Structure 1
Amino acid sequence: ALNTMRFAVMQKLNLESFELSQNYTLFYDKLEKANYFLENILETLEEPTDGRLISHLLKDPLGDGGQWDMLCNLIEKYGVVPKEAMPETAPSSATRELCTYMTRKLREFACVLRKAHAEGKAADELRTRKEGMMETVYHMLCIALGKPPKSFPFEIRNKKKEFIREENITGKEFFEKYVGLEYGGLCQPHQRAHCG
């Protein structure tokens, strides 16, 4: 999908070559999957711990890959950035170790939330704990992948050697301006299960 989008940028700006950051999209994919997992844990607190549903949720909470609507929702929410704005890291090129550590942490969080519920903690307290857990997930991702830019300078020369420069553009603005909304408009509103 990012390869398709990068060709749109190359055509629009008349570039020899161009790459989008896979790392940026990966960061938010893992963040949203972690959030989705913890929301599912909060919604299934009454389910038996040894039941098939909880077993399914715990099996692979944030594996690589996904569905087209998940990608669409990520792009609509966060946009895309050039590779220079968030370069690749060792964990972004080989995610196995990152996924292993994060899966362990998410399972631990699920245990904490379910135990707190069994002890009679109120829903508001559980949600507050979940928000703290998401902060931990965010910091883990920052350590492994780097902190995603809220905005960035975009500088490049096209085939005619003309200099293109834009200050403080966000991922969403970059997508809308240089890729095109036809890529983001593929998801219908009812398909937003992955990114809230």
Structure 2
Amino acid sequence: MPKGPTKRRPQTTARLLDAALETFADRGFHGASIEEICERAGLTRGAFYSNYRTKEELFFALFDLHARRVVDRLTAAVDEIHDSEDPLRALVARISALDEAERRWYLLSTEFTLHAIRHPDTARTLAEHDRRLRTEIARLLAVLFDRLGRRPTVDLDSLARLVTALHEGSLAQSLVEPDRLPPDELPGTYLPLMVKAASRARRTHHTDP
């Protein structure tokens, strides 16, 4: 039978991840200490080091958790587009929802990206995590085009980069000017144009009876 520590590990990591996201968002990646994260999680330093070696490793665990949530949210949004009169607008509204967890993640991920730019080894690791998430986004874009009855005319990996840039850039501006720019305004305006420009309607073949 599994020993106690093994059975408790998922609970321990969940507490560390929750505490880390809050602490990183409040104090910054560099300003947050392992001691503060452990204190907020109600755990010891030993519990931290039995799961993660460094703050960077903890960040990448948070990245993977966030990526799974992004993919789940996108999958649900794509699955529901047939139920809407304006599928792309409905999709944008769902994926642009801004809550406190999303705000915290944006603060952390933006700061960590700058950290990675300054450290090539970290940048390579971040690029690999980005690539895995982008692969899933490109796959879902292919599904989206299919359900809209369109065929992509551009490289989907490149399009996934552009869609991500639109999302992250518009989110930054919305966080700076929340009263002037709702988080779904720019994606809602320009994503449909991007989809149209990056694809063409599928031809349907009719046969005489």
When normalised by structure 2's length, the TM-score is 0.33
Structure with the larger RCO, 1 or 2 (CA within 8 Å, 6+ apart): 1
When normalised by structure 1's length, the TM-score is 0.35
Which has the larger share of helix? 2
